[in-house]
Structure formats: C-alpha cells, structure tokens
Amino acid sequence: MSEAPKPNAAAAAPAKRPAGRGRNTELPEHLKAYKGVWVFVEHDRGHVHSVSWELVGEARKLADTLGSTVSVVVLGGMDEALEKFAAEAFTYGADKAYIVHDPVLKGYRNEPFTKGLTDLVNKYQPEILLLGATSMGRDLAGSVATTLLTGLTADCTELRIDPVSKALAATRPTFGGSLYCTIMTLAYRPQMATVRPRVMLMPPADASRTGEIVQDTLGMVETEIVTKLLDFIADANSNKINLPYADVIVSGGKGLKNPENFKLVFELARVLGGEVGATRPCVQAGWVEADRQVGQTGKTVRPKLYIAAGISGAVQHRVGCEGADVIVAINTDANAPIFDFAHYGIVGNAMQVLPALTQAFAAHLALRSRQVA
C-alpha cells in the first residue's frame, strides 16, 4: 500500500507577513485622492473654543509642507453665526470653510455631528482631520474615526509631515509620559488627530485674509436622533477655573505638606490676579479640585508666569507647564528636577517663601497703583 504523499511543509506555510494584526502600510488607490488639511471648529453659545484656532495654525504649517490647503468645518443651528466663525478662521490661516446649518445641529449631540462631519469627509475627502482634545472633540473624534474606519491619534503634542511617506506624524506621550511615540496612519484616510488646548501656539491673526465658503446640508431629522437636548444648565463652577488661558499661575505640590498650607498658594495667586494650579498628588489627596491639575493627565498651560511651590518637577507635571514664558520654582531640594527647566529657582521652604512673595508683590503693586492714580 502506498503512503499518501506528505504535504510539502514549505508550500503549506502561510505567506510571510509582518508581525501584528492587520498591519497595512500601503495606501489603497481609492484613498490617494484625499487631499487637504481640515480642522473641526468647536463653538458653544456664540464662542469658538481657542483650541480651534491653535489647530488652524498647525494645519497651515502641515498644508504648506504638503503644498495643499486648509479647510475648516463649522456645524451649527440655523440662527448661529457660522459664517462669522468661518471669517475668523480665514484670518488664522484657513482657505476654505464647509458650513452646515441645520436645526438638529443647534447644541452639540454626537449623532448629528458625527453624521455631519463624516458626510463632509466622504464627499470632499480631506487627507488630515484635526479636532481639539476637549470633551466635545474627544467624543466626536472617536465616533467619526470608527464610522470612517480610520486611525485616530489622541492628545498629540506635536504634528508634522513625515518627509518620506508624506503621512501625518503625530507624536504623543506614552508609557505614563516617560516616552513619546510617533504614530502614522499609512493605509487609511483621513489621518485623524486630537490636540489639547494650549499645546499648540495661537497663530497671529491676519485681518486681510479671506476664503471660500461652501454651504452644505445634513439630511437628518430630529426623529432619527436618540439623544434629546432638553435644556442647558450651566455648571456653577465652570469658567471659574480657566487654567489653560491664565496669564499667571501659582501651583502647589506635595511639598506644601497639607491643605492648610495650600492657602498660601491661593493668597499669592490672588495678589497676582492669577489662577491656582496643583500637581496630581494634591488633587488625589483632595486638597484642590481636579480642574486645577497641571500636567499630562491634567491641563496644559502657557502662562506668562508659572510659580511652582513644593513641586518636584516630574516629567508628567513638566509636560503641562514647560510652555510657560517664565517658570519660578521654590523647593527645599536644590537637586529637584524642577530646577532643570525653571528659569528662576529659589531653594527654600515654600511655607516661608510664599508669604514673603505675597507680601512683596502686594506692597509693590499697591505702590504702582498709587503712582498710576
């Protein structure tokens, strides 16, 4: 009896492919037509969130590198000033604005906004789509990316064009902030990224710049939307703490020892007309509200003056405050990492230095106001 031929092991082995699940690196032919850099303009009750303009500034740099254009998407209700927002976007560097007015787009809801943005993307095919990493932007970016089956890199700290692949190289912290990784979406379009407020610089406005407005429609009716917007109730605490846009911030860390001593931080901030920030351990200990946390998992700030009292300067805190124009650190340990990036350092006990600074600034500012009067 003859034996059945053994299968040829080499022939039976599956074709070699790179490790990883579904790792595609080739852009399919039909996605090569996607061109242009888009920014979603976030607005709420008549005000555009500044992160949208910060992103238009970044989009301009990316588009100039690619030799392409910048467009913004502005979605809203029938009576909202979307054309005014578009005109403002042009002054910051946008070339074109896609506008959709529809009753169901008055006030943010995920379903109509996801449909509005994905429909526009499918129709006009941008290469890159940027959104602010705000509550609204995070909610919308995730659902748009999953609907479009494309890649999204969240909370980026740097955006550039990879010189070889011409793909968006989106850099973000990883491994608890101890490393940065750069992510590229090579085989899908659009390439999506979110960026937190104040991570990118505000671009200068050029009042002479204008652009093209394209009006589009949504094609969705209220009965198709599960979420209903019944009322808007302002959070009594919102807008009270506005760390990302404060010019002066006095921050405290665990070196202050207890919440009682944290009052010294509030005192100095009050005299300077600034905001109060904190490190994560202080927030976790319940010394201050979570909205005051500066750092990788808190807020990114860019004040003119940042005073850090009793803060070690861990990398997760540093990434949130190193964009400040001037950093003054107060720490008992002359070797604390904060002194590696602070512009001015005071080696001393914060419980003595903070009241001394408060007193000196109060006296100086009182003298100045008397001179002005």
Ligand X SMILES: Cc1cc2nc3c(=O)[nH]c(=O)nc-3n(C[C@H](O)[C@H](O)[C@H](O)COP(=O)(O)OP(=O)(O)OC[C@H]3O[C@@H](n4cnc5c(N)ncnc54)[C@H](O)[C@@H]3O)c2cc1C
Q: Which residues bind ligand X (CB under 6 A)?
A: 176-177, 253-255, 279-282, 293-298, 310-312, 314, 316-317, 320, 330-333, 336, 349-351
Helix 259-272 × helix 350-372 angle, to 10°:
20
Helix 82-91 × helix 50-66 angle, to 10°:
50
Looking at the Cβ atoms of 107 and 348, the one nearer to ligand X is: 348
CB 331 to ligand X: min, Å: 4
Looking at the Cβ atoms of 182 and 349, the one nearer to ligand X is: 349
In the three-class reduction of DSSP (H, G, I as helix; E, B as strand; rest coil), residue 7 is classed as coil
Looking at the Cβ atoms of 56 and 321, the one nearer to ligand X is: 321
CB 287 to ligand X: min, Å: 10
Number of neighbouring beta carbons within 10 Å of residue 256: 23
309 vs 341: CA distance, rounded Å: 14
| SS3 track for 306-358 | EEEECCCCCHHHHHHHCCCCEEEEEECCCCCCHHHHCCEEEECCHHHHHHHHH
Looking at the Cβ atoms of 279 and 358, the one nearer to ligand X is: 279
CB 355 to ligand X: min, Å: 12
CB 325 to ligand X: min, Å: 20
CB 174 to ligand X: min, Å: 10
CB 157 to ligand X: min, Å: 13
In the three-class reduction of DSSP (H, G, I as helix; E, B as strand; rest coil), residue 37 is classed as strand
CB 137 to ligand X: min, Å: 19
CB 259 to ligand X: min, Å: 13
Strands 43-44 and 96-101: unpaired
Strands 168-174 and 158-161: antiparallel
Looking at the Cβ atoms of 65 and 349, the one nearer to ligand X is: 349
CB 319 to ligand X: min, Å: 8
User: Is residue 322 within 8 Å of 296, Cβ to Cβ?
Assistant: no
Looking at the Cβ atoms of 150 and 279, the one nearer to ligand X is: 279
272 vs 162: CA distance, rounded Å: 43
Looking at the Cβ atoms of 82 and 350, the one nearer to ligand X is: 350
CB 39 to ligand X: min, Å: 26
Q: Of the candidates 135, 105, 133, 134, which has an alpha carbon nearest to the alpha carbon of residue 119? A: 105
What residues does 345 pair with on adjacent strands? 329
Number of neighbouring beta carbons within 10 Å of residue 182: 16
Looking at the Cβ atoms of 120 and 294, the one nearer to ligand X is: 294
Looking at the Cβ atoms of 66 and 285, the one nearer to ligand X is: 285
Tokens, residue 236 = 């009594």
In this structure, what is the dihedral angle of CA atoms 25, 120, 115, 183, given to the nearest 10 degrees? 30
Output DSSP code: residue 60: H
Looking at the Cβ atoms of 293 and 358, the one nearer to ligand X is: 293
181 vs 53: CA distance, rounded Å: 25
